[in-house]
Amino acid sequence: MDETRFVEMIFPEQANHYGTLFGGHALSLMGKAAFVAATRRARAPVVMATSEKVEFHVPVRVGELVELMARVTRVGRSSMTVTVDAVSEGLISGTRRLAVRGSFEMVAVDDAGKPMPVAQPPSHDVSEEALT
């Protein structure tokens, strides 16, 4: 499981008064992507410890698509660094631009909320059975 991806249409309720994606909503989408990527890697509950530098490169307009791509780029004992890119796409033009990039430190925790080691990734077959 190398990359977690999902797409979100940007509608007016996710926008600010400039008609572009509200920064707080962008952070929420990115945090969700980081959470899913880290949980898939650890196959354990994870919490966010920090959000590192987040760079807003270009605004995303209402009516555009945002594709979120999250990758675990470092695995420590219980912590993982997840890098998230948010790419905007004009649905008609097909023009894609890197809109936001950020990284997040996620920590695997046990039932008591205490840090727990992240296991080595299992080797797995992607069989047709697993995809159904």
Ligand X SMILES: CC(C)(COP(=O)(O)OP(=O)(O)OC[C@H]1O[C@@H](n2cnc3c(N)ncnc32)[C@H](O)[C@@H]1OP(=O)(O)O)[C@@H](O)C(=O)NCCC(=O)NCCS
Spatial contact of 59 and 87, defined as CB atoms under 8 Å apart = no
- The CA distance from 20 to 3, in Å, is 26
**Among residues 1, 6, 58, 77, the one that binds ligand X under rule CB under 6 A:** 77
Phi–psi pair at 109, nearest 5 degrees: -130, 155
Q: How far is CA 119 from CA 42, 48, 66, 76, in A?
A: 6, 18, 32, 10
Query: Binding mask 37-66 vs ligand X (x if CB under 6 A, - otherwise)?
Result: ----------xxxx----------------
Spatial contact of 34 and 81, defined as CB atoms under 8 Å apart = no
Q: Does residue number 115 form part of the binding site for ligand X (CB under 6 A)? A: yes
- The CA distance from 62 to 65, in Å, is 8
Nearer to ligand X, 31 or 59 (CB): 31
Nearer to ligand X, 111 or 128 (CB): 111
Beta-bridge partners for 97? 88
**Among residues 9, 18, 58, 76, the one that binds ligand X under rule CB under 6 A:** 76
Minimal distance, residue 47 CB to ligand X, in Å: 4
Q: Does residue number 36 form part of the binding site for ligand X (CB under 6 A)? A: no
Q: Which residues bind ligand X (CB under 6 A)?
A: 47-50, 76-79, 105, 107, 109, 113, 115
